[in-house]
Amino acid sequence: MQKRLPLLVGLAACVLGLAVFLAWNGVLPGGWTLRGLVLGGEERANRERIEHAAERLELFRSERDRLPADSVVFLGSSTIERFPLAEIFPDKHCVNRGVNGDTVDDLLARLDDSLPAAPPAAFVINIGANDIRREGMVAADVRDRVARLFDELQARYPDAATSVIGLLPAVDASEAELYEFELYDLAVRRAAVSRKIPFIVAQREPLANKDGRLNSEYATDRFHLNAAGYRRLGEWILEGGGAAGRLLAP
């Protein structure tokens, strides 16, 4: 028995090591908790974003050839990903290409995977909050990246309409965040107008309070709209989204 003990201990260690490896990589349950114990909060969140983005892009690629022509493609980060398009714009060919946590550079890098094979009729864009809030970028740099996105879409699809939605600061946004989000709206609006792209202001009542912060009555958490908030945002897209809004009208 004593001779077999080291062998049994070694075998148990191998089994435990294999279980940890499989859990860490998502094959067995418990990986999220395990990673949370080992990694810090920021590293864990970054890993979760990467894994989620990979899942979203796999879905986009699988759908790419099956989507109808003349669809309206929504591009952006979590505000777009959570957008209940089928409820807000029923019977319309809407394509949701939002990825939680995306920056403008992420969206540009994944553009080929995000776009349908058939030429879209229009794009609706909401992007840039993560660049400012998480990456600490200033509004002018974000504007330059968004302008590059505008130019890329217009070069690929010159006949497609485009509209862009401004940003909504968090429920508890700091003064610095409010300032940069306001500068973003001013800068991106100029870039949009110069390209004949409608700019839809989101930082207004009732979605925003008088101080500019997201109104908690229209929010599901610090950053995101609830169903009532999306209904109001949908109305603003129809009213101010130009040709893209007209394509989404009942």
b/e per residue, 112-143, with b = 16+ CB within 10 A? eebbbeeebbbbbbbbbbbbbbeeebebeebb
Own/partner pairs for 36-39, CB < 8 Å, 24+ apart?
none
Per-residue pLDDT of 135-164, as tens digits, reads: 999 999 999 999 999 999 999 999 999 999
Reported as a pLDDT band with limits 50, 70 and 90, residue 17 is low
Peptide bond into 206 cis (omega under 30): yes
The token duo for 22 is: 């499989």
> pLDDT at position 20, please?
46
Interval 85-123: pLDDT, tens: 999 999 999 999 999 999 999 999 999 999 999 999 999
CA angle 199, 208, 80 (to 5 degrees): 55
Q: What is the C-alpha to C-alpha distance for residues 25 and 107, in angstroms, rounded to an integer? A: 25
6 Cβ contact list (under 8 Å, min separation 6): none
pLDDT tier for residue 46 given thresholds of 50, 70 and 90:
confident
213-237 pLDDT, tens per residue?
Answer: 999 999 999 999 999 999 999 999 9
* 170-196 pLDDT, tens digit each: 999 999 999 999 999 999 999 999 999
User: Tokens 């349908």 belong to which residue?
Assistant: 116
Give percent of the chain with pLDDT exceeding 90.
81
pLDDT of residue 44: 80
Q: How many angstroms separate the CA atoms of 195 and 189, rounded?
A: 10
Show the domains of the chain with their CATH numbers: 68-248 (3.40.50.1110)
Per the listing, tokens 């994944």 go with: 110
pLDDT surpasses 70 at 39: no
pLDDT(37) > 90: no
For residue 166, the 8-state DSSP code is P
pLDDT at site 19:
55
C-alpha span between 102 and 35 (Å, rounded): 22
Is the whole model's pTM more than 0.95, yes or no? no
* Amino acid in position 228: A
Judge whether residue 40 has pLDDT over 70: no
**Residue 176: other Cβ atoms inside 10 A:** 10
* Residue located via tokens 């989204």: 241
CA 113 – CA 93 distance, rounded (Å):
18
Residue type, 221: D
Per-residue pLDDT tens digits for 74-90? 999 999 999 999 999 99
> How many whole angstroms separate alpha carbon 193 and alpha carbon 93?
26
Residue 183 structure tokens: 């500068």
Q: How far apart are CA 148 and CA 31, in angstroms?
A: 38
